[in-house]
Amino acid sequence: MAYFYLVLAVMAETVGTSALQASKQFTRPLPSALVVIGYATAFWFLSLVLRTIPVGVAYAIWSGLGILFIALIGWLVFRQPLDLPAVIGMTMILAGILVIQLFSGATPH
């Protein structure tokens, strides 16, 4: 169940961060409300995750996946460019998440 909550936390954080871009520095009410709701939801689910998964591992996975999803949304929705070094760096982040999941004894299996 912890990984399900972690996925929900990442999704909520992704919505909140995407809405932050759309809020235009909190000048647009609906995206601004989504920022607050998204981040509050993300931290609530993350708190549930921490019952089972160590904070360092949970945060590494949460932030790493958040980086990947936000970069993808930035590229697709906001037309923000991603150059080769950015793609390589994000690929390395994904590889790090996979190493943690597949080989670390700090994660529940």
pLDDT in tens, 62-94: 999 999 999 999 999 989 999 999 999 999 999
Q: For residues 22 and 27, what is the distance between their CA atoms, to the nearest angstrom?
A: 9
What pTM did the predictor assign?
Answer: 0.85
Tokens representing 47? 């708190």
- Using the predicted structure, report yes or no on whether residue 100 has a pLDDT greater than 90: no
Sign of the Cα torsion 41, 5, 86, 74 reads negative
Structure tokens at 52: 């089972």
Residue 52 has what pLDDT? 93
At residue 109, the pLDDT reads 63
Q: What is the DSSP letter of 24?
A: T
Q: Residue 31 — very low, low, confident or very high, per pLDDT cuts 50/70/90? A: very high
CB 58 within 8 A of CB 4: no
Confidence check: pLDDT of 107 > 80 = no
Contact 68, 35 (CB under 8 A): no
